[in-house]
Chains A and B, each alone.
Chain A
Amino acid sequence: MKKKLLVASAATLSIGLALGAFAHSGAMGIVKERMDGMMVMGKSMKSIAMMVKGVKDYDADTIKAAAAAIEKHSGENMTKLFPKGEKKQKVSVAKDEIWTNWEEFEALSMRLQILSQGLAASADKGLSGASDSMMGNSSMMGSGSMMGSGSMMSDSNMPTMEMMAGMSPNMIFPMIAGTCSSCHTKFRTEK
């Protein structure tokens, strides 16, 4: 079982690396390293999305492999690839806000890692209520009120491992996508 997971992660990783090298040719050193990591996470997210959307049949091992890849490239493993005072590379799409707003950047990276652990732990449960709604959630999420930020990214709603233990992968997946998007919205320039 563990071996299968390892093989799957390795496969995801090598495909990601190959694609990463292709897409980000020109980046060097640490910038290339983090771009490659992002590519791996993107591919992992895609593999989960295919199942959440119902394009592919659900497979817990694929979810676990994807979650493991995200865990490996998030948290401190991600933030350490953004050293303070790094030499600017033209191909880099990192905004200066990463370093001027380090706390938030770091929090999002940590959040991503915790969510990926929760996702892995939820994998064996399978998708819940997927037939009702492709996203497993048709609620308006409090949008019936004029109050409150549209963002779900505040610390107050950071789920703990205990909370996630009761959730299914299609409940955790949107939180991961939201974390990626939130971080890229704030900290990545669009070319």
Chain B
Amino acid sequence: MRRLAQLATVAAFAGAVVLAAVHFWPIGQPVKTIALEGDAGRGAYLARISGCIGCHTNSKEGGKPLAGGVAFLTEFGTFYSPNLTMDKAEGMGNWSIEDFDKAVRQGVSPEGQPYYPAFPYAFYANFTDQDIADLWAAFKTVPAVAQPSKENDLSLPFSYRPGLKVWRAAFGSEPEARDPVAGKSDAWNRGRYLVEGATHCGACHTPRNFAGARILARKFEGATGLPEGGKSPAITAEALKAEGWTKDDLAFALKLGMLPSGDVFGSLMGEFVTEATQHMTDEDLAAVATYLMKEE
């Protein structure tokens, strides 16, 4: 009996040590200072096609631009996009460009806490230093809105944010599209940069495992369990070609929300076309289509 009590004490102690270790485990890499001049116009374009504005603007309920509050119902609970305006108390008004860089490319808050992967920072890790400078210049033009960010409504163990550090160690991935591939066309490389980065197609079109991490071996094969119980089709070049899609069809669909059959996107893809891809230049649409269709 006494031995059992001893064991229990040891187990409890070990558990506490692990918890404390996870709690205080520092994450993220140091950020280098970006001395580049940012172009707010280019940054706004990037923010639009990356979904920043779409996901952080509660347009359904008439919310102010980038003030957050959009609900994402998932199997882990409900996520609410936070306030990204320049409000000093509720938004990013007190952030430095280094804070912004670390948040966007590493998924780590200024307080050193990990963001949930509902925020597609793993894709944004492909942004260049110039992209970060441009985005920050654009965000700085966003008028402050003193609207508090809503707490996520998640179930245990997902509600324990430091637990994400373990998740990051287990499932974190390196950015894969930062440098162009030699021997490929400019359009293909631009498409790769957009698809694997800014427009983060894989966030919805790559299936996820039990812990919500993307199964990279099955990239673009389509997924279930998207917000609101949605699902996405496969967008591998093979799948798209088998369905009769051409490069032009794809660019057309991302611009107008319309499928080759005459039907239109609804649901999440309809929203993403409205909020993001319809704003892409024809060159970028062609680039995305080139890369997805595995053309030159």
Contact = CB atoms under 8 A, between A and B. Distances in A.
Interface string A92-120: 00000000000000000000000000000
Contacts of B271: 185
A163 interface: no
Contact of A184 (B261, B270, B282): B270
B252 A134 contact: yes
Interface stretch (A26-34, A56-64, A76-84, A135-143): A135-143
Given A43-B262, A148-B65, A181-B266, A134 B279 contact: no
B288 interface: no
A46 B261 contact: yes
A151 B59 contact: yes
Name the residue among B138, B257, B258 with the largest chain A CB count within 10 angstroms.
Answer: B258
A174 interface: yes
Contacts of A128: none
A145 B41 CA distance: 6
Nearest to A48: B262
Interface residues on A, range: 35 or more
Contact of A138 (B53, B138, B282): B282
B261 A140 contact: no
Closest 10 CB pairs of A and B: A185-B270, A46-B262, A181-B257, A184-B266, A42-B262, A150-B275, A143-B279, A181-B264, A177-B256, A144-B41
Given A149-B57, A152-B274, 20 more contacts: A44-B262, A49-B252, A49-B262, A134-B251, A146-B44, A146-B65, A146-B66, A146-B141, A147-B65, A147-B142, A150-B276, A153-B274, A173-B256, A174-B256, A177-B257, A178-B278, A181-B264, A182-B274, A185-B267, A190-B231
Interface of A: 41-47, 49, 53, 133-135, 138, 140-141, 143-153, 173-174, 177-178, 180-182, 184-185, 188-190
